[in-house]
Structure 1
């Protein structure tokens, strides 16, 4: 079976250029677009986009509903909805291109819309498990620090708790971004893998002092004993050494990681080793927002806490990280005194 269509590939390259240069999208977003279009092409047996018909959109939606994951399970509603939106975006762009204005109409592109019930279900907020401050500290205390890599991992866990930084940022930070004297990390979007390339300052959250002490000790160790410079990684990759004829990875190299997968792995394993749920590293952001709520801070203090997490809009912190469940809603309303 044919695995590609040369004409389609040229159009996809033009669309990729449009997304990157006109819309400012990154490689990760473009890769998702390409994967979605390949699924569409598979459903049409790689017919040229110029032969688009409404029936192809219907058939594509049917194909997605029947598709299975590698584990044999149906595709998640969120996956189907995202795939349809990406393909629709391409054909919406295509409808405005020279030579396609009579081939693809904007009204025909609407056939890629998901049905309302599935779209609503795909975007519904779901409860995300996150550790309590007590559980996080318990896991942190149980982490070993006998080797250089173990000390790095423990400092990484501590840093996540006092900053709530995203894993991409944590894996790409360098020593120059840390200010121990004033107590903050400068997340420079030009150099650090922050969300949407945002640049902002995160002051260390006032959590248990053990975290800051551990992290401070690590930074001083890198600067004073390892003699690392400003451009060296804050949480470096291991360095390969040959010991007794075998390669070992027991020291750090100074190089940053290509992505944040190791950060997530370290965080999950810290909880797993004390027989707790293996929380993902991103969940600590919910822990920090819950801590903000529990402290009953003034509105200005809550806003500062929110900005510290990189949220420009305080509503993002409340709606995404501090949702009120149906049970909580009822309890809170019932507890209100009648004026």
Structure 2
């Protein structure tokens, strides 16, 4: 049995509730639905009304040995996400008419991982990301004769200038860039931003050479391609037939990409051609934050960068992208006692002097 009609009706109602009442986006709802389907597959698509603690513990043990598409056992973080999504669903179902007496609420807690496992799932691992110089090396090795090559190079330059999410990059229009203010307006009504936030992103100063690549691209679209305000900032390419009736890239269209997959391929190809390991677009967010920290950015500057990334709180930026590598941690610890010009030490010294004069 590949599905249960009763369960399908309940899942539709739940997904509608999460979208319309709980205001969740489609990606979040799909992740929830997928977790519920995993649980159904484990139980053999039994009615949700038959839920009990044995199903909970059995599924928890099953998910612990389940392998991903890559052949690896699911990470503890993924396990936690799946189990939490199933728990949230069952708690909702237990409050619905006809299920209040059928689903034991205490049994839902049997999905819980141990405290140690939950801490491991929520801990952040060291993230590998490219340096500004590596990105500059990639850009310098990218061909830029054809309009498609110009676009590809501009996308990578733009990503380090803004650290915009790849889903947003695929949906930007020309009008979302204000050249006079060097500002990218991520309008959620037209741009696919996380949590549908309005984000104002100013181009970060990572070098005039990188900025020039993006500027020339915008000028090319406006002056050569005659793109207007509602045309895509990074248009998809179109294919034509060559003399052998094979598809080849013919040029740029005036359409947006349907998804972000082509952008990831551009990154992969560019890094490989430059002789470097592949870094995905999202890793550039780590690059910008770490570059700012290493340059000694103050709290106000870090807060500005945090807002550039679309974060309401600086702590979100630091915990998500500011983890220090073990090597850098070692350097900082070793240098703590040798920094005679440290601003904080000077302040402490002045305070001590003032105190002694009292």
TM-score range normalised by the length of the shorter chain:
over 0.9
Secondary structure of the residue aligned to 2:185 is: strand
Match of 1:265 in 2: 265
> In 2 relative to 1, CA 154–20 (structure 1 residues): closer, same or farther, beyond 3 Å?
same
How far the C-alpha of 1:116 sits from its partner, in A, is: 2.4
Higher alpha-carbon deviation: 242-251 or 197-206: 242-251
Q: Does 1:77 align with 2:76?
A: yes
User: C-alpha distance in 2, partners of 1:206/1:96?
Assistant: 53
User: 2:256 is paired with a residue of what secondary structure?
Assistant: coil
Unaligned 5+ residue runs, structure 2? 338-344, 349-358
Taking the TM superposition and a 5 Å limit, the aligned residue runs for 1:41-120 are 41-120=40-119
After the TM superposition, which segments of 4 or more aligned residues of structure 1 sit over 6 Å from their partners? none
Q: Partner of 1:281: helix, strand, or coil?
A: coil
Compare 208-217 and 323-332 and name the one that shifted more.
323-332
Alpha-carbon deviations, 1:1-56, whole Å to 9, x = none? Answer: x1111111111011001110111111111111111111111111111011111111
Q: TM-score, normalised by structure 2?
A: 0.89
Seen in structure 2, the aligned counterparts of structure 1 residues 11 and 314 have a Cα distance that, compared at 3 Å, is same
Q: Which residues of 2 match residues 289-304 of structure 1 at below 5 A?
A: 289-304=289-304
Question: Is 1:307 aligned to 2:307, yes or no?
Answer: yes
Offset, 1:265: 2.0
| Cα RMSD, aligned residues only | 1.9
Change in Cα spacing, 1:326 to 1:274, as seen in structure 2 (3 Å) is closer
Alignment partner, residue 183 of structure 2: 184
Q: How has the CA–CA distance of structure 1 residues 67 and 303 changed in structure 2, closer, same or farther, with 3 Å as cutoff?
A: closer
Instruction: Choose 1 or 2 for highest CA Rg.
Output: 2
SS of the residue corresponding to residue 128 of structure 2 reads coil
User: Following TM superposition, by how much is the alpha carbon of 1:154 offset from its aligned partner in structure 2, in angstroms?
Assistant: 0.3
Structure 2: how far apart are the matches of 1:316 and 1:20?
25
Deviates more, 1:277-286 or 1:73-82: 73-82
SS of residue matched to 2:240: strand
Q: Does 1:142 align with 2:141?
A: yes
1:254 matches 2:254: yes
When residues 326 and 222 of structure 1 are mapped into structure 2, their CA distance, relative to the original with a 3 A threshold, is closer
SS at match of 1:84: helix
Q: In 2, are the aligned partners of 1:152 and 1:218 still within 8 Å (CA)? A: yes
Aligned residues between the structures: 338
CA-to-aligned-CA distance 1:306-337 (integer Å, 9 cap, x gap)? 21121211111222211135665565455444
